């Protein structure tokens, strides 16, 4: 009996130890990552050295823009590759503009407009090999003003770092200094619908993309300076781009596309239609709402095409192509939705519709937008955007810049490929 009692007591003691002592134990969580610290340079120095090495390798493709026989390809946060595409089967990198923080491009006549983090720059590209900085509108892209007024981030020092984390089981990403704070966004960007853009924009401008955030119309540049605003800049004097206005234009704005004296602003929640009849004071005249998703939008006189992409960065669950009746653009209605895998940029050439979708570029016969007919699927890994003109399909993808011949849209053939870091397609 005594033995049983002592065993019982031993059990009670063990139970007590197990329940009372855990407070003495501490779980340990250590994290390791890269520590990024910005390196600043004077803006004046950066702008004086804007002509970079033409042979700068393409490492991270961003937005693309074409003007004449030149392709302007954004190197994310680093600058712009200028590629001579006189012969699409042999595109040649002819110049590189070193513009830290650059993501966006627009060209009118011989003036290139580009962002350098928060600043909008105007650059004379009459001589592509010796461009000249003309002027700037400081702080226009208000969401990207990171450095003191006369400085700009030109590079980052990187070192491995370890840190202790207080484990709470839920939020474990540390916010220590610049850890996780990088400006190396792999921003897939886009091209525009050649046919539509040509009909709506003046011929002195180039062709922007379905995911572009700035566009030139007449004497004005319209842009999304931060994700809820629309800004208007007068560019009559290229040495002094002048801010006319910025105002709240909708939540989560992503893209801008000009059509028939209107601007279509793609947002994560829908498409906002702004009239620019009064060029300096755009006014909202319509809105089409859809589920939450990333959504570049393009249009012609009759129909608008919107791709919706879901994901952690986009929210929502839709992956589809929506066709809207845009004959009455202020009251666009849904014509048809087509399921997609992970659609991004898109463009039109006459009755042909090109849509980037995960691992292919889909070519549709859009003669009847209510019943698109798939003609072919061109394999391209992670295509971001496309532009189609004169039977040449230009595709910007994570792996580089591809060109295809779509003379026969059912049998699209490869013409050339400019690779990222000499990778293989």
Partner 1 sequence: MRKVIGLVAALALWAGGCLGQNPIKFRSTETLGLSSGSAGSYFQLQSVNGVSKGPWFAGLGAGLDYYRFRSVPLFVSVTRDLAVGKRDWFFLYLNGGTNLPWYKRPAGSLITPDGAATSVFHSGEYWSGGLGYLWKLGDHSKKAVLFSAGYTVKKLKEDQTVERECLTPGPCTILLPEPVVYEYLCRAYQLMIGFRF
145 binds partner 1 (CB under 8 A): no
- Considering only residues 240 through 279, tell me which ones interact with partner 1, judged by CB under 8 A: 253-255
Token reading at 205 = 């401008």
119 binds partner 1 (CB under 8 A): no
Residue placing its CB nearer to partner 1 in the complex, 17 or 330: 17
169 binds partner 1 (CB under 8 A): yes
Q: Which range, of 10-18, 320-328, 346-354, 363-371, touches partner 1 by CB under 8 A?
A: 10-18
Task: Report in angstroms the alpha-carbon separations of 187 from 99, 102, 286, 294.
Answer: 16, 11, 28, 13
Token reading at 272 = 């906002």
- Output the CA angle 303-309-311, nearest 5 degrees: 165
Residue with tokens 């090999």: 129
- Considering only residues 38 through 67, tell me which ones interact with partner 1, judged by CB under 8 A: 63
- Output the CA angle 318-208-103, nearest 5 degrees: 80
- Considering only residues 309 through 368, tell me which ones interact with partner 1, judged by CB under 8 A: 309, 311-314, 344
Q: Which range, of 183-191, 239-247, 273-281, 346-354, touches partner 1 by CB under 8 A?
A: 183-191
Query: How far, rounded to the nearest angstrom, does the alpha carbon of residue 89 sit from its chain's CA centroid?
Result: 26
Q: CB of 369: closest distance to partner 1 in angstroms?
A: 23
Secondary structure of residue 393 in the 3-state scheme: strand
129 binds partner 1 (CB under 8 A): no
Alpha-carbon distance 302 to 395, whole Å?
25
* Number of residues in the chain: 425
213 binds partner 1 (CB under 8 A): yes
What residues are paired with 168 via a beta bridge?
none
187 binds partner 1 (CB under 8 A): yes
Among left, alpha and beta (phi > 0; psi -120 to 50; other), residue 315 is left
Secondary structure of residue 406 in the 3-state scheme: coil
Contact present, 374 and 380 (Cβ < 8 Å) = no
411 binds partner 1 (CB under 8 A): no
DSSP for residue 381 = S
When binding is defined by CB under 8 A, the residue of 9, 12, 34, 390 that contacts partner 1 is 34
Q: Which range, of 127-135, 174-182, 282-290, 416-424, touches partner 1 by CB under 8 A?
A: 174-182
185 binds partner 1 (CB under 8 A): yes
When binding is defined by CB under 8 A, the residue of 46, 224, 233, 352 that contacts partner 1 is 224
Site size for partner 1, by CB under 8 A? 67
149 binds partner 1 (CB under 8 A): no
Q: Which range, of 48-56, 289-297, 349-357, 388-396, touches partner 1 by CB under 8 A?
A: 289-297
Does the CA dihedral 75-81-86-87 come out positive or negative? negative
Please name the helix (run of DSSP H) or strand (run of DSSP E) that holds residue 19, with its range, or none.
Answer: helix 2-20
Contact residues: partner 1, CB under 8 A = 3, 7, 10-11, 14-15, 17-19, 21-23, 25-34, 63, 103-104, 115, 141, 143-144, 165, 167, 169-175, 179-189, 211-213, 224, 226-227, 253-255, 294-296, 309, 311-314, 344
């Amino acid at each position: 009996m005594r033995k049983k009692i002592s065993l019982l007591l031993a059990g009670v003691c063990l139970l007590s130890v197990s329940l009372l002592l855990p407070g003495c134990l501490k779980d340990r969580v250590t994290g390791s990552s890269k520590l990024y610290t910005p390196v600043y340079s004077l803006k004046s120095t950066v702008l004086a050295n804007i002509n970079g090495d033409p042979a700068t390798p393409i490492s991270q493709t961003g937005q693309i823009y074409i003007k004449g026989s030149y392709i302007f390809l954004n190197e994310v946060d680093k600058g712009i590759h200028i590629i001579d595409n006189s012969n699409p089967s042999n595109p040649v990198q002819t110049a590189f503009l070193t513009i830290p923080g650059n993501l966006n491009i627009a060209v009118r006549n011989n003036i290139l407009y580009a962002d350098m983090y928060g600043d909008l720059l105007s650059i004379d590209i009459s001589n592509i090999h010796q461009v000249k900085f003309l002027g700037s509108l400081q702080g226009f892209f208000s969401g990207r003003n990171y450095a003191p007024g006369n400085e700009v981030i030109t590079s980052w020092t990187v070192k491995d770092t370890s840190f202790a984390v207080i484990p709470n089981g839920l939020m474990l990403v540390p916010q220590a200094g610049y850890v996780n704070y990088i400006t190396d966004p792999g921003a897939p960007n886009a091209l525009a619908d050649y046919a539509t853009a040509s009909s709506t924009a003046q011929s002195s401008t180039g062709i922007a993309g379905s995911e572009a955030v700035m566009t030139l119309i007449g004497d004005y540049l319209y842009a999304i300076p931060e994700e809820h605003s629309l800004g208007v800049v007068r560019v009559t004097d290229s040495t002094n781009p002048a801010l006319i206005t910025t105002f709240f234009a909708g939540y989560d704005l992503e893209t801008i596309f000009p059509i028939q004296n209107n601007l279509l602003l793609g947002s994560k929640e829908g498409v906002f239609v702004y009239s620019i009849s009064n060029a300096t004071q755009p006014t909202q005249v319509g809105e089409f709402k859809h589920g939450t998703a990333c959504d570049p939008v393009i249009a012609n006189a009759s129909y608008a095409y919107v791709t919706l992409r879901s994901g952690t960065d986009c929210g929502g669950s839709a992956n589809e192509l929506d066709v809207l009746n845009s004959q009455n653009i202020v009251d666009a209605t849904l014509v048809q939705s087509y399921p997609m895998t992970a659609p991004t940029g898109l463009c039109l050439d006459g009755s042909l519709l090109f849509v980037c979708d995960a691992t292919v570029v889909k070519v549709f016969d859009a003669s009847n937008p209510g019943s698109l007919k798939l003609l072919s699927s061109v394999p391209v890994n992670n295509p971001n955007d496309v532009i189609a003109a004169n039977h040449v399909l230009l595709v910007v993808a994570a792996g580089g810049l591809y060109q295809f011949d779509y003379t026969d849209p059912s049998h699209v053939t490869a013409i050339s490929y400019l690779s990222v870091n000499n990778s293989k397609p």
